[in-house]
Amino acid sequence: MGNKPNILVIDDDQDIGRMLKMLLEFKGFIVTIAENKTKAEEILQNALTDIMIMDMLLSGENGINVCTDFKSNAEVKHIPILMMSAHPDAKKICLDAG
């Protein structure tokens, strides 16, 4: 099957992180979970990442700000970020973040 894409899931809810990991691994992806920006930055420095899936609302951090920070970082700005949220204005807010 060739190389499997590497996905970094950033979500402070451990149950959601584990559920996404299980579903994505079932579909053949390699998945790493980070609970916050600091952990995500460590993973991004040490592991190949093809895409990030991030919660818009992280405990103690605004996922939008985290997304904006990643998109302004030359080393990781090329990595696509898929934001997820139940927030009613999530689409516009996330698109504005890059």
Q: Which tens digit of pLDDT belongs to each residue from 73-92?
A: 999 999 999 988 777 777 77
Query: Percentage of the chain surpassing pLDDT 70?
Result: 93
Give the mean model confidence (pLDDT) for residues 46-63: 88
pLDDT digits (tens, 9 = 90+) for 8-25: 999 999 999 999 999 999
- Segment 55-62 mean pLDDT: 83
Question: Around Cβ 86, how many Cβ atoms within 10 Å?
Answer: 8
Average pLDDT over residues 23-31: 96
At 89 the pLDDT is 75
Q: Compute, in degrees rounded to 10, the torsion defined by CA atoms 34, 93, 62, 79.
A: 30
pLDDT class of 2 with cuts at 50, 70, 90: low
The whole-angstrom separation of Cα 80 and Cα 59 is: 22
